[in-house]
Amino acid sequence: MTYNVLIVTDSISEGKLLKQYLQSDMFNIPSFFDDANDALEEMKHSENKYDIICVNFNLPEANSFDIVKKVRSIYPNIITVIIAGNITKEIIRDLQGLRVNALILRPFSKAQVFDKFAEILGRKDLIRKVLVNVNTESIDLSSITIPPMPTVMMNVLSFDSEKMENGSFELEKIINPDKAITLDIIRIANSSFYGRSGSVKSLKDAITLLGLKTVKNLVILQSRKQLGKGVSGEIFKKHITEIPILTSLVALDLVEPLSLGKIRDGLFTFALFRKMGMLVMAENFPRRYLEVLKRLEFGLQTIYQLEKEEFNSDSIEVGLRVFKYWRLPKEFQDLMANQNFDESNIQNVSDYDRITMLAELISKKLLSLPVTQAELKMETLIFDFYKAPWIVRETFDKEYFDLIKEHPYFTGISG
């Protein structure tokens, strides 16, 4: 038996995601509507007899209770599902009075949707067949291929520029064997950003111009780009390369206005490494991870929710395994473990955790990527934690992004 489903929501992304979740031999979704009146006309005149209707509770210029009543006048026995965000006990009582069959709260996962439909249809035997394609095989963390850390990155990470014995000559010796990174650093030193177009001829000159800490950051950045060359395509580039780099730059720009100069050293590297688990998952499972990233762009679930749904694991667990394999210090592992902290833990995590999360949320918005309501709330809460004035909160706008796109760290990002 196939159930015809009508979806009514003003959110195109939500409609597409719900349709993608349900589309199968068991459910037929001819279309979805963003206007309640158009949906009612479809139900009146369509040759399709609808069995289920999913309605967004917060449709603009429409009362969900009235929609349910009108739908029931056309199909008295239709199964009615309401999709909502925050909802009060009073509204739940009203929905029960209308004999609404189910309530699905955002953000919802594919498994949650199917569980709800299994319950209201009383067809768990058939739903289970569909769920075979939902709860896909779990990944074996011990079998994941972890790339070795590039030698130059490993040596630069252990290079302490504060030690008296470590200077330009010692850093040059570490970098010089890697010709690709050496050329990249010279190219960046010659960029218009530093005002020395064509005058820097050697790695030594570049280190003298840029300084030890900047060159360290550049080595780590270029090594990180090399690690990401195993995956290709715009969506991978955006999530695996662009967001981490932009997050690192935004994090540095948050330090001064939030009076956090004490965490500046190491912040760039921490921010750049946070998503290493995503990179390794993408390289090990490119097809499946591509689907995860596509669903992420609907803006209804976080990356961690989607990864758990697809792999029964997430990029935090994978990232921790990578950091242990690379024998990175404990502070790296702590940053990886804490990157999905919730609002109840804002007081308990470190400044590095708070600032890198804030920088990532700002970066997603700068790249016009959707963010969940929970993420928007977290951005506000972190700004509030640091008592950031409005001028700081409004700094990271289109004009700021236009400037960042000219930064030598960000230009040539696919290279």
Q: Tens place of pLDDT for every residue, the chain, 415 residues?
A: 678 888 988 888 888 888 888 876 578 887 788 888 888 888 888 877 888 989 888 776 567 788 888 888 888 888 888 888 777 777 777 777 778 888 888 778 777 787 788 778 875 554 444 444 444 567 888 889 999 999 999 999 888 877 878 888 999 999 999 998 999 899 888 888 777 667 888 999 999 998 888 899 899 988 888 888 878 888 998 999 899 999 999 999 999 999 999 999 889 999 999 999 999 999 999 988 998 898 787 676 789 988 988 888 999 999 999 999 999 999 999 999 999 999 999 999 999 999 999 999 999 999 988 888 788 999 999 999 999 999 999 999 999 999 888 888 876 544 4
Write phi, then psi, for 54 (nearest 5 degrees): -110, 120
Q: Which residue among 81, 97, 131 closes a domain?
A: 131
CATH number at residue 60: 3.40.50.2300
SS3 content of the chain, % helix, strand, coil (to 5): 60, 5, 35
pTM to 2 decimal places = 0.70
**Looking at residue 179, which CATH number applies to its domain?**
1.10.3210.10
Same domain, 178 and 62: no
Q: Are 34 and 56 in contact (CB under 8 A)?
A: no
Asked whether residue 413 is assigned to any structural domain, the reply reads: no
Both 308 and 177 in one domain: the answer is yes
Are 109 and 185 within one domain?
no
Same domain (yes/no): 191, 125: no
Tell me the residue range of the domain where 117 lies.
Answer: 3-131
Do 286 and 228 lie in one domain? The reply is yes
Instruction: Choose one of 102, 131, 160: the last residue of a domain.
Output: 131
**Considering its fold, how many domains does the chain have in total?**
2
Same domain, yes or no: 202 and 342? yes
Q: 156 in a domain, yes or no? A: yes
Q: Any idea which residue has 């008296």 for tokens?
A: 164
DSSP 175-186: HTT-HHHHHHHH
Neighbouring CB atoms inside 10 A of 281's CB total 28
